[in-house]
Structure 1
Amino acid sequence: MTSNDPILESDLNAYVDEQLAVGRRIEVEAYLSERPEVAAQIMKDLRVRDELRLALADHRTPGRLATREAARLLERSLSRRRVFTGLRRAATIALFVAAGWAAHAAFGPFGATEVIASTPPPAFVEEAVRAHRTTLVRDAMASQPETDGFDPAEIRSATAIVLPDLPEGWSVIDAQVYPSVYGPSVELELEPEKGERLSLFAVRPGSFAVQQVLLFHADNARAAYWQIGDVAYALVSESRKADDLAGTARDLLRTLY
């Protein structure tokens, strides 16, 4: 059941802070799906929020500049969007925590323990890794020719999946449409430079979300995944370092706006 209540600024704020009931969250996501400019701003706020969380979780270097900067970014975002008191308080606390770590470095430990948060990835990420490995198997088989006739307009027409623009100099070695539990998925085998292979996986997971780039490790493979509206993406590699892979994924994400 959904209501006819208009989506207010407070609803958007609560969406960013994960404080909405499921029904209202669905209504907000439907609202965002029709307003890409608002969805883009929400995604920026989600990114700043999660950068702060990441900075708080990784405090191996006391008083990390990244922590203080993330807190400042969040505080500016909260002031600009007038997000409710809880999140503004979180930004302020983060500044005190950063100062506390600096004091910890100067005066010694005070009993704090490390906290590491972990969230399982969406199911489509595991499908992306499987598609990547299937492509590697195809590469080694002479009876499975590659299909490098990449036509993004044709893919969009057949699957309703919009693919990001690829950086200049990248080559599409193989382009395949795979079945998935969500319907057709697209898997591109890419060659950013001679001898390197990346896989770009895209699928419509059946839900709307605005999700910034996150990382997932699976054995020897790494996946940087994100979602824009009703299409989810994963960039998979067995050679790139996590930070580099995430940075490349963010570059691809920006081309979707």
Structure 2
Amino acid sequence: MSDVIDPVVESDLDAYVDDQLDASRRIEIARYLSHHPEQAARVMSDLQARDELRMALTGMQSRGTLETSEAARRLERGLMRNRLLGSLQRAAAIAVLVALGWLAHAGFGPLTISQVVASTPPPSFVSDAVMAHKTSLVRAGMKSQSDVNPYDPAEIRAATAITMPQLPAQWSVKDAQLFPSPFGPSVEMEIASDNLGKISLFAVRPGTFDVVKPKGLRVGASSAAYFQIGDVAYALVSNASPADLEAAASQLSNTLY
């Protein structure tokens, strides 16, 4: 399930006219148009032209203008040419791909897709979590940044509306910082653990409403495990293995239900 918080752009209005949006997004666009009369007038004009073209192409009687009928005939002729040209282009593309495949096979051996390439890329907030983790390591090594901010989950929730998970008894919070993000402040905590070394716990509002089970992965020289509950996403980052972080993330996730 996903409810994307997304600004309305020109392509959204075109997709609205072309009936290429799902019901929830059409409702969002309609709400937007109700507050933007100039945009709404243009969309209504496009809808009228679309319906007149459809009626002209299907041979139905309409009250459209002569210009619309002529545009429909030109469109029909153009579509026939495009279908022929598209068939020729696909045939040429297949021939090129086959030739390239033989060349690659001869030069480099059989080609295979690695698991990393084939897998779904992680959400963007994972990269933010890794960067926050690296920043905390730099900050920990600076004498001028040695002051430790006390960790108060109730205060964090009151300030950011982000609920932090309950930490294991063997973990101790060394520092807690707020970072800016597009959908409100994010939280980054520096944690010392008994078996995973130095950990960063990152919490942020990614702009989507979803439920994502914990998943571990490698991100450059670090490991991360991320999950999402509702409109808040969480990520653990450390040098431990992705499997160990995923298990720790599962434990944290269970405390939020």
| TM-score between both structures, scaled by the size of structure 2 | 0.54
- The corresponding residue for 2:254 is 254
* Residues 196 and 22 (structure 1), Cα distance of their counterparts in 2 relative to 1, 3 Å cut: farther
- 1:66-92 residue CA offsets vs partner (Å, 9 max, x unmatched): xxxxxxxxxxxxxxxxxxxxxxxxxxx
1:126 and 2:127 aligned: yes
Aligned 8 A contact 2:196 2:238 in 1: no
* Residues 25 and 118 (structure 1), Cα distance of their counterparts in 2 relative to 1, 3 Å cut: farther
The number of residue pairs the alignment matches comes to 151
Could you tell me which runs of 5 or more consecutive residues in structure 2 were left unpaired when the two chains were aligned: 1-20, 28-111
1:171 and 2:172 aligned: yes
SS at match of 2:145: coil
SS at match of 2:236: strand
| 1:194 Cα deviation from its structure 2 partner | 8.3
- 1:234-253 residue CA offsets vs partner (Å, 9 max, x unmatched): 00011x11111110110000
Distance (Å, rounded) in 1 between the aligned partners of 2:25 and 2:153? 32
| 1:219 Cα deviation from its structure 2 partner | 1.6
* Residues 144 and 23 (structure 1), Cα distance of their counterparts in 2 relative to 1, 3 Å cut: farther
* Residues 26 and 178 (structure 1), Cα distance of their counterparts in 2 relative to 1, 3 Å cut: farther
- The corresponding residue for 2:158 is 157
- The corresponding residue for 2:59 is none
* Residues 254 and 25 (structure 1), Cα distance of their counterparts in 2 relative to 1, 3 Å cut: farther
Q: CA RMSD in A?
A: 2.4
* Residues 170 and 148 (structure 1), Cα distance of their counterparts in 2 relative to 1, 3 Å cut: farther
- The corresponding residue for 1:219 is 220
Distance (Å, rounded) in 1 between the aligned partners of 2:230 and 2:22? 17
Distance (Å, rounded) in 2 between the aligned partners of 1:24 and 1:195? 43
SS at match of 1:190: strand
| 1:196 Cα deviation from its structure 2 partner | 1.9
Counterpart amino acid of residue 200 in structure 2: S
Distance (Å, rounded) in 2 between the aligned partners of 1:119 and 1:224? 14
Identity of aligned residues (%): 52
- The corresponding residue for 2:49 is none
| 1:179 Cα deviation from its structure 2 partner | 1.1
Distance (Å, rounded) in 1 between the aligned partners of 2:196 and 2:222? 17
Distance (Å, rounded) in 1 between the aligned partners of 2:165 and 2:251? 9
* Residues 222 and 25 (structure 1), Cα distance of their counterparts in 2 relative to 1, 3 Å cut: farther
Could you tell me which runs of 5 or more consecutive residues in structure 1 were left unpaired when the two chains were aligned: 1-20, 28-112
- The corresponding residue for 2:85 is none
| 1:216 Cα deviation from its structure 2 partner | 3.0
Aligned 8 A contact 1:148 1:172 in 2: no
Distance (Å, rounded) in 1 between the aligned partners of 2:26 and 2:190? 34
Deviates more, 1:144-153 or 1:202-211: 144-153
- The corresponding residue for 1:235 is 236
Distance (Å, rounded) in 1 between the aligned partners of 2:199 and 2:141? 16
For residues 106-145 of structure 1, what are the structure 2 equivalents within 5 Å? 116=115, 117-145=118-146
| 1:214 Cα deviation from its structure 2 partner | 1.5
Distance (Å, rounded) in 2 between the aligned partners of 1:180 and 1:120? 20
| 1:192 Cα deviation from its structure 2 partner | 1.1
| 1:147 Cα deviation from its structure 2 partner | 2.4
Aligned 8 A contact 1:127 1:180 in 2: no
SS at match of 2:154: helix
- 1:138-193 residue CA offsets vs partner (Å, 9 max, x unmatched): 01100012424100000000000000000012100011011123320000011112
Aligned 8 A contact 1:148 1:174 in 2: yes
- The corresponding residue for 1:11 is none
| 1:114 Cα deviation from its structure 2 partner | 8.3
* Residues 22 and 160 (structure 1), Cα distance of their counterparts in 2 relative to 1, 3 Å cut: farther
- The corresponding residue for 2:81 is none
- 1:5-30 residue CA offsets vs partner (Å, 9 max, x unmatched): xxxxxxxxxxxxxxxx7545999xxx
SS at match of 1:143: helix
Aligned 8 A contact 2:197 2:238 in 1: no
Aligned 8 A contact 1:152 1:163 in 2: yes
| TM-score between both structures, scaled by the size of structure 1 | 0.54
